[in-house]
Structure 1
Amino acid sequence: MSRRLFSSTPALRWASFSGRTRAATAAVLLALASIGPAQAQHPIPQPEDKPYLGPIRIQVDATDLDRHIFQVRQQLPVKPGRLTLLFPRYLPGAHGPYGTVDRLAGLKIHAGTQELAWLRDTVDPFAFHVEVPAGVNELNLAFQFLSPVQREGGRVVMTPEMLNLQWISMLLYPAGHHASALQMQAEVTLPAGWTQASALRVESQSAEGPKRQRLRFKPVSLDTLADSPLFAGAHTRRIELDPPGHPRPVVLNLMADDPAELQASEAQIQAHKNLVVQSDRLFASRHFKHYDFLLAISGRMSGIGLEHHESSENGVGLGYFKDWGKRAGSRSLLPHEYTHSWNGKFRRPADLWTPQYNVPMQDSLLWLYEGQTDYWGRVLAVRSGLVSPEQARDAWAEIAATYSHRAGRLWRNLQDTTNEAAMAKSRSGNDWGNWQRGADYYAESGLIWLDADTWIREQSGGARSLDDFARLFFGVEDGRIAPLTYTFEDIVATLNRVQPRDWAAFLRQRLDHKGPEAPLDGLARAGWRLSWAETPSEFARADDSEWKNDDFAYSLGLNLKRDGKVEAVLWGSPAFEAGLSRAVTVVAVNNQAYKSERLAAAISANKGGAAPLELLLREGDRFRQVKIDYRGGLRYPRLSRVEGSPERLDSGVLAARP
């Protein structure tokens, strides 16, 4: 293509188009002028629980694997007058405004052969206004969803072997209606020979030549379509996790870069079946017609963990089955997302539920939605045999250490962290995460629920536990799929049905308190305490993921990438006091090139203060040397038994239910 096509001179850009294209573009520009800029701020209709004019059809062509481009077409019934179309902004599961309207491109709207002008709202860029001419009863939309081609640009959802289609990121819908009141007819075109998995059910399937196939799904409402993503791939496997003939079956759908990654032992498969059994015993209900785990094992498609009511999107690195001993950290993912079918999708916070995807969400109760899901995910992983009790204890030791060293606790309480999702912070994360805090409502809230669980066990003499709360709160109305909302008062009332206490004060003190102490009472009551060792645990050593860091967090207060690039510095730590930040790379330790082993040896050598560390730092073209006289030695978290105390973790909380 000629460089002239990219000229900044308008006359040259205009000259590059054909005469027919210039005429069509001129017509659109005239139509845009008739709408006028004032109308770009026209009030957007508020959602009402009323049916739309008729079903909306959507077709997605997902065969452009080389360029990672999804081609989208929609047809929707309309009536003359102003129509506002919305691109989803507030995404369930993400809990905030993470819609990627910037990836929508090439939008064309036609009424028959006539191209209609559209104008983006100048206040809300997720809204598009169009004037429907008299006599027109259907519009045709066409656009592209430009998914990332590399991880630096966002989550990669398409590779030569597989793809992840999220309908909620690839559609426009008419304003003024609840999502449940909009009926959708969805189709997808996939490469020939690929197999798809989704909570949607296929109505028909046909070949489109030798290289393509089209699938049409049974009609569903928009809220169901948006909540039913699709995985597809060339190498797949389907494993039934329920006995044959179960009326509400659960299935594990696998896909991988290579067929060898799909090979699982009988014991590994049985652990996944046990997850379904143990969840049934915990929640005493199923709030779905069927449930599909979507699990991608890939080194190319980005990972994910995202809940849906009748499915979940799960993406892990290579070796999920092949390197079972090294992947314990990823095996609480499926229990976590499965728990969300009860906690978050069925029982949903009243202030988080919204009628459609362009009404702001409120996240004040995420400490139950995500916090108790984090708790049950860890518990169910052990009860099912996906994770051993020893591995679970090592993971809890890491959590206890993290929040015992969370400097931001001094200024920001846990309740305030539930606003993190609504803040829509950048993908680059926090430069001072230990001070700023982040989504602590996950794992720290899990510690609070361990506190509640062990207290109930103690007070009831082992007769009751948080399992009883799960059955009472999430197990109601077995078979119901429609969300059942709850408030803070509902949580407190149910806890009091299990074991009377001033639960409101218990929760508010832990959620609203600011101070250095982490909520470790549950661990102590379970018979365990946080302790320290000079070597990482087996669980930590087994983490060979791409995000693995050289961990000196609890000695120097430093995490580094394997090339010495500083990944994190704990606020107030020896590294912080020495002036280190994420801007620098550690080039050398005591005048030798950086290696993790050399830094570890240097830390150990200075226990008596005889050999302070000297680090050579690089920031851009600038070098500087710093000295750190840290004498505490290497410190890695462990859990140790509290002598003479009852053991309520392995033998209580984590014990499988018969």
Structure 2
Amino acid sequence: MKPIRYTIVPKQPAAHLFEVTVTVADPDPAGQRFMLPVWIPGSYMVREFARNIVTLRAVNEAGRKVRVEKTDKHTWQAAPVKGALTLRYEVYAWDLSVRAAHLDDTTGFFNGTSVFLSPLGHEEAQCVVDIQKPEGAAYRNWRVATALPEVRGTKRYGFGEYRAQNYDELIDHPVTLGEFALATFKAHGVPHDIVIAGRVIGLDMARLSADLKRICEAQIALFEPKSKKAPVDRYVFMTQAVTDGYGGLEHRASTALICNRGDLPVEGREALTEGYRTYLGLCSHEYFHTWNVKRIKPAVFAPYDLSVENYTSLLWLFEGFTSYYDDLILVRSGLISQDDYFGMLGKVIGGVQRGSGRLKQTVAESSFDAWVKYYRQDENAPNAIVSYYTKGSLVALAFDLTIRAQTNNRKSLDDVMRLLWQRFGRDFYRGKPVGVDEGEIEALFAEATGAKLAELFAEAVHGTRDLPLDTLLAPFGVDIAPELDKNGKPTLGARVRGGADCTLAAVHDDSAAQKAGLSAGDVLIALDGLRVTGSNLDGLLARYQPGAKVEVHAFRRDELRTTQVKLDGPEVARYKLTASDKRPAARKARERWLAS
């Protein structure tokens, strides 16, 4: 099968247009079909990337126009031709996120799922993509950042040709274009690049390199404790620094990140800010995915079908367990203290406990319904769903503590992850890919640890009862208790959008607001005759005592409503975890857990 050749050029940065060509040397004699994915792996929502294709035409190798028809929302078919067939099309790129494509006169970014049409029937053909520089002196200092291997003659970080073994590999390597800060460090001998696009004053790349090195080496050692062999030959952390943003998306040898520029470290300031700690946790999360979900995958993802939703009930394992390890790795690598970690864990527990959806939806159901519920949340989401990320991370904690307690710390969740890696992940891209079957997870846990976990699977994965975290933490000498809002102010039991208007974004089950007949979308205008806004609501509520009755005026659509609200007590902001048991056995168990 002959290689598929692509070109991509930022043709009109001011208009946010990439021009892309794809050439098939040996097209289907019956008429070549092309498809653009409707979703991107790692983000479980149909996003309809084809809607951003503005123009499209086809020509034969003589340059003559070839008829091409769109057959459905993301598929095209060209008329039969002799010789090579080329499609040329424009892609509108104005999505400043990690999921799609973005282009202006300062920077460019794209995922292959947003820009590269797949010639159907040629998915396993080698791909060569020529990434071209935009015209004009303003772009003379632009460079290319990607983990795609260069074709001979193309310099690292330079414009030119890059290659992939097949279409799946091509679209699993995002690309950043523009001027960016760059640093490289080695983790267990493997080069890792850090790319920061966007203006950041006083950026401390040396500190960032040192901190990410510790994270990467800790994760490599977790999966390969003897060989310390990384699963990649090179890795790229690429970050877009913006005024306000947060997110990441994993890829097989890189990650695309977006963060608040204020979260990045500043030269000469050694304090670990909450923002920087959050950014390191994000990097840790996406790097852990290099093993867990990029190589250890659900069977339904081996391979992906990018034309439709791919359903799995295992995202609690692939996202939730990753969320557990992302912060745990920070404490294991010495970047944060035990108390810092307990504070972060307590915040996660508080977030899960706030929503009554945790009592209605299991993490397995949450995983399966990610396409229609988690990624399409509405105003009732807190009352109807649970996050397979946050609740999944607590499920991972429960498994880890249970396994350690049953085996006297001889086994842990680390052993489960290593077995999954050895059985499914290590050779995923070296031979026929095999994914984890939905029905074999429980047996794999038992094989890896010897622990009796059937009851925990039933309650934590397939049940909706709250996890007995106090009981599970006790053998490790850790107490857990709810921590009320420090100001002790009463609450409405509703989430409010900030701003000039005091609009209710969500109303919690059995809350003061719900009992008073208030609903999401209502705009509060007065409490006891005093004007209320999104910014002064907390201050007004702080003047009352829990249980006080307040007259509330609100608009629902264009109708004024008056109701009386009996205020709820202070909200549980988080849970406080304290290492109170200092006895040797508890201290040793705790140290083994946090330093494995």
TM-score (norm 2): 0.85
Confirm whether residue 561 of structure 1 aligns to residue 511 of structure 2. no
Corresponding residue of 1:462: 409
Confirm whether residue 62 of structure 1 aligns to residue 3 of structure 2. no
Aligned match for 2:291, one of 330, 335, 342: 342
Q: What is the CA–CA distance in structure 1 between the aligned matches of 2:219 and 2:374, rounded to whole Å? A: 34
Q: What is the CA–CA distance in structure 1 between the aligned matches of 2:19 and 2:172, rounded to whole Å? A: 20
Aligned match for 1:144, one of 90, 95, 106: 90
Q: Tell me, what secondary structure is at the counterpart of 2:261?
A: coil
Does the aligned pair in 2 maintain the 1:90–1:99 contact within 8 Å? yes
Tell me which amino acid in the other structure corresponds to 1:147. A
User: Counterparts in 2 of 1:454-533, with a 5 A limit?
Assistant: 454-475=401-422, 481-482=429-430, 483-515=433-465, 517-518=466-467, 520=469, 522-523=472-473, 526=476, 527-533=478-484
Residue 253 (structure 1) shift: 1.9
Unaligned runs of 5+ in 1: 1-52, 208-212, 537-550
* TM-superposition CA deviations, 1:552-579 (whole Å, max 9, x none): 9976233432443333322322122233
User: Counterparts in 2 of 1:345-494, with a 5 A limit?
Assistant: 345-354=294-303, 356-358=305-307, 360-423=309-372, 429-437=377-385, 440-475=387-422, 481-482=429-430, 483-494=433-444
Corresponding residue of 2:235: 291
Aligned match for 1:256, one of 190, 197, 200: 197
Corresponding residue of 1:314: 257
Residue 505 (structure 1) shift: 4.4
Q: What is the CA–CA distance in structure 2 between the aligned matches of 1:574 and 1:335, rounded to whole Å? A: 39
Q: What is the CA–CA distance in structure 2 between the aligned matches of 1:648 and 1:586, rounded to whole Å? A: 53
User: Counterparts in 2 of 1:603-642, with a 5 A limit?
Assistant: 603-607=541-545, 609=547, 611-641=548-578
Aligned match for 1:236, one of 168, 175, 181: 181
Residue 592 (structure 1) shift: 3.5
Q: Aligned pairs, how many?
A: 568
Larger Rg: 1
Corresponding residue of 2:112: 167
Does the aligned pair in 2 maintain the 1:399–1:443 contact within 8 Å? yes
Q: What is the CA–CA distance in structure 2 between the aligned matches of 1:530 and 1:100, rounded to whole Å? A: 46
Corresponding residue of 2:517: 579
Q: What is the CA–CA distance in structure 1 between the aligned matches of 2:154 and 2:404, rounded to whole Å? A: 57
Q: What is the CA–CA distance in structure 1 between the aligned matches of 2:358 and 2:527, rounded to whole Å? A: 32
Does the aligned pair in 2 maintain the 1:203–1:218 contact within 8 Å? yes
Residue 637 (structure 1) shift: 1.5
Corresponding residue of 1:278: 218
Does the aligned pair in 1 maintain the 2:295–2:426 contact within 8 Å? no
Residue 418 (structure 1) shift: 1.1
User: Counterparts in 2 of 1:117-196, with a 5 A limit?
Assistant: 117-121=67-71, 124-133=72-81, 136-148=82-94, 157-177=102-122, 179=123, 181-190=124-133, 191-196=139-144
Q: What is the CA–CA distance in structure 2 between the aligned matches of 1:95 and 1:149, rounded to whole Å? A: 17
Tell me which amino acid in the other structure corresponds to 2:94. P
- Evaluate the alpha carbon distance shift between residue 608 and residue 127 of structure 1 in structure 2; reply closer, same or farther with a 3 A threshold: closer
Q: What is the CA–CA distance in structure 2 between the aligned matches of 1:141 and 1:61, rounded to whole Å? A: 14
Corresponding residue of 1:38: none
Q: What is the CA–CA distance in structure 1 between the aligned matches of 2:473 and 2:240, rounded to whole Å? A: 34
Residue 339 (structure 1) shift: 0.7
Does the aligned pair in 1 maintain the 2:39–2:47 contact within 8 Å? yes
Does the aligned pair in 2 maintain the 1:447–1:519 contact within 8 Å? no
Aligned match for 1:304, one of 247, 256, 259: 247
110-119 vs 339-348, which moves further: 110-119
Q: What is the CA–CA distance in structure 2 between the aligned matches of 1:378 and 1:528, rounded to whole Å? A: 19
Q: What is the CA–CA distance in structure 1 between the aligned matches of 2:320 and 2:491, rounded to whole Å? A: 24
Q: What is the CA–CA distance in structure 2 between the aligned matches of 1:140 and 1:221, rounded to whole Å? A: 18
* TM-superposition CA deviations, 1:153-210 (whole Å, max 9, x none): x977234432221112112222235x3x121110112332112211112236789xxx
Aligned-residue RMSD, C-alpha: 3.3
- Evaluate the alpha carbon distance shift between residue 616 and residue 150 of structure 1 in structure 2; reply closer, same or farther with a 3 A threshold: farther
Confirm whether residue 216 of structure 1 aligns to residue 183 of structure 2. no
Does the aligned pair in 2 maintain the 1:528–1:641 contact within 8 Å? yes
* TM-superposition CA deviations, 1:392-440 (whole Å, max 9, x none): 323322322233233224443321111233338876x3111112315x1
646-655 vs 384-393, which moves further: 646-655
Does the aligned pair in 2 maintain the 1:90–1:97 contact within 8 Å? yes
Residue 484 (structure 1) shift: 4.0
Corresponding residue of 1:75: 23
250-259 vs 588-597, which moves further: 588-597
Unaligned runs of 5+ in 2: 134-138, 267-271
Q: Tell me, what secondary structure is at the counterpart of 1:422?
A: coil
- Evaluate the alpha carbon distance shift between residue 91 and residue 217 of structure 1 in structure 2; reply closer, same or farther with a 3 A threshold: same
Residue 103 (structure 1) shift: 1.0
Does the aligned pair in 2 maintain the 1:554–1:635 contact within 8 Å? no
Does the aligned pair in 2 maintain the 1:381–1:387 contact within 8 Å? yes
Q: What is the CA–CA distance in structure 1 between the aligned matches of 2:561 and 2:115, rounded to whole Å? A: 49
Residue 81 (structure 1) shift: 1.9
Percent same amino acid at aligned positions?
20
Does the aligned pair in 1 maintain the 2:512–2:568 contact within 8 Å? no
Q: Tell me, what secondary structure is at the counterpart of 1:633?
A: coil
Q: What is the CA–CA distance in structure 2 between the aligned matches of 1:263 and 1:642, rounded to whole Å? A: 34
Tell me which amino acid in the other structure corresponds to 1:654. L
Does the aligned pair in 1 maintain the 2:183–2:205 contact within 8 Å? no
Residue 257 (structure 1) shift: 1.9
Q: What is the CA–CA distance in structure 1 between the aligned matches of 2:274 and 2:75, rounded to whole Å? A: 46
- Evaluate the alpha carbon distance shift between residue 317 and residue 63 of structure 1 in structure 2; reply closer, same or farther with a 3 A threshold: farther
Q: What is the CA–CA distance in structure 2 between the aligned matches of 1:553 and 1:349, rounded to whole Å? A: 45
Q: What is the CA–CA distance in structure 2 between the aligned matches of 1:231 and 1:222, rounded to whole Å? A: 19
Q: Tell me, what secondary structure is at the counterpart of 2:273?
A: helix
Q: What is the CA–CA distance in structure 2 between the aligned matches of 1:79 and 1:455, rounded to whole Å? A: 56
Q: Tell me, what secondary structure is at the counterpart of 1:282?
A: helix
- Evaluate the alpha carbon distance shift between residue 239 and residue 627 of structure 1 in structure 2; reply closer, same or farther with a 3 A threshold: farther
